[in-house]
Structure 1
């Protein structure tokens, strides 16, 4: 496996990335919470973009994968800042953002921060505002008290033996970056993909996002039986199709 290159950010973080040169608009993959750029979707899309001659970027947020920092020290604002720095420094011209789970939230924040650089958005089980609407909303009173008092709790992960560390900073920063409470205009095509068997992001979240955004060309595809990973061959083919719709023929 090829070693990543590194980008030093103005905030003193070091981001690992892989960049493929090619035609624009470029494609940027934005990973999920505690995920990294070596996942199935990221690597599959890199190979797909290379075969098309399309520019492509995948990277690790700080505290994720091969980038610097500890995961528990990060928050949505930090990771959105990482993504904005990576796009500004490592890509040229317009980009199609492909956001998986938390990456869908990051993509929406980027669309607000860099409107001139975004020409399309694909959300794969997009999870906007999940720290508030999924995590905080589901915590029992004793868990909320522990977060506010001790500053953190650990909750089980559905993917491996390592628990998620949820910090007070993550929750409070998430509230500063919510996107479903205020008008959200997206003046470019949007494609949302959502599995009906997803146990992490409910179909209701995808419907809420579709209803909330102000977008003239927004479509939601529900895939019966697909889970949160959305990484089966037929799922990946749908992701390719969604991105292709947003790129020049």
Structure 2
């Protein structure tokens, strides 16, 4: 992966291509989307599994599916902005809540990376139609990769926003030995977070151990579809180097890493969302042309 010095001009982003080139590109304003959606929440019933809440906008392929971050839901700024954008183009879009989150059934404390991966696959198998662009935010970026490995025939492209591949395991393994032992004995780990009212999320120790079965960054990732990874360099939760690791490990040769010098973890500022929409617009144009 090539490295390059970032200029201080805030109207530019650094785009790193898998082939090693570093290209400075101006951010292109997103198309205006003045109409809000009137889609209503629906529920996907699953045998022996909690119902999943989702909203589906019908339209052309490739469709877009948004995968929220940890403890987030389908009503976040990025998810709603993507639905608006897809409506403006006439493409399909699906937003949904993981088990135990938002309007879906289930208990979040009983969920694992594996269970949430099943949620994504349920949406892909039973709600979506045709090839899909998965857009994963934070933990959703991890699940996006896992889903692409499980259903490669359904994936047109991947877009990760501060993708948190292996995150729980990586952070836990960096703890001092005594803290890891304490978490094992207590059966839970308190993960500090400014997004929680308590200042931390309580993660069951069993969830950390289960997540080890889904780690990706220590070996090649056999994904061959186009991949775009957008990451803020001021991200204090998931280091932007994680996006570079993902780019190095995926087998696809069509991989771009886009770094925003002043971007934060959530990447939900107006210009951040414009960049996300531009990236997806570019992908749809490319995929449609190839098709």
Q: Same fold (TM over 0.5)?
A: yes
Write out aligned runs for 1:78-117 (5 A): 78-117=115-154
Counterpart Cα distance in 1 of 2:72 and 2:98: 9
Q: Which residue of 2 aligns with 1:53?
A: 90
Kindly indicate whether residue 179 of structure 2 is the aligned counterpart of residue 143 of structure 1.
yes
User: For 2:235, what is the secondary structure of its paired residue?
Assistant: coil
Relative to structure 1, is the Cα distance of residues 2 and 119 closer, same or farther in structure 2, using a 3 angstrom cutoff? closer
189, 208, 232: which is aligned to 1:171?
208
User: For 1:13, what is the secondary structure of its paired residue?
Assistant: strand
Kindly indicate whether residue 49 of structure 2 is the aligned counterpart of residue 12 of structure 1.
yes
Write out aligned runs for 1:135-214 (5 A): 136-162=172-198, 163-214=200-251
Counterpart Cα distance in 1 of 2:193 and 2:203: 11
Relative to structure 1, is the Cα distance of residues 96 and 210 closer, same or farther in structure 2, using a 3 angstrom cutoff? same
Kindly indicate whether residue 126 of structure 2 is the aligned counterpart of residue 65 of structure 1.
no
Gaps of 5+ in 1: none
The Cα shift of 1:2 comes to 6.0
Gaps of 5+ in 2: 1-37
User: For 1:215, what is the secondary structure of its paired residue?
Assistant: coil
Counterpart Cα distance in 1 of 2:44 and 2:154: 19
Does the 8 Å CA contact 1:195/1:203 hold for their aligned counterparts? yes
Per-residue CA deviation, residues 106-139 of structure 1 (Å, 9 max, x unaligned), is: 01001100010001000000010111112x1233
Does the 8 Å CA contact 1:97/1:122 hold for their aligned counterparts? yes
The TM-score, its normalising length taken from structure 2, stands at 0.82
Counterpart Cα distance in 2 of 1:69 and 1:144: 28
The Cα shift of 1:140 comes to 3.1
User: For 2:267, what is the secondary structure of its paired residue?
Assistant: coil
Does the 8 Å CA contact 1:27/1:98 hold for their aligned counterparts? yes
Does the 8 Å CA contact 1:9/1:82 hold for their aligned counterparts? no
Q: What is the number of residues matched between the two proteins?
A: 248
224, 227, 235: which is aligned to 2:261?
224
Per-residue CA deviation, residues 59-116 of structure 1 (Å, 9 max, x unaligned), is: 0000111111121111100000011011110011100000000111101001100010
Relative to structure 1, is the Cα distance of residues 183 and 10 closer, same or farther in structure 2, using a 3 angstrom cutoff? farther
Counterpart Cα distance in 2 of 1:239 and 1:195: 12
Counterpart Cα distance in 1 of 2:173 and 2:246: 18
Please tell me whether Structure 1 or Structure 2 has the larger radius of gyration of its CA atoms.
2
The Cα shift of 1:245 comes to 2.2
Counterpart Cα distance in 2 of 1:146 and 1:10: 37
Counterpart Cα distance in 2 of 1:178 and 1:228: 21
Q: Which residue of 2 aligns with 1:27?
A: 64
Q: CA RMSD in A?
A: 1.5
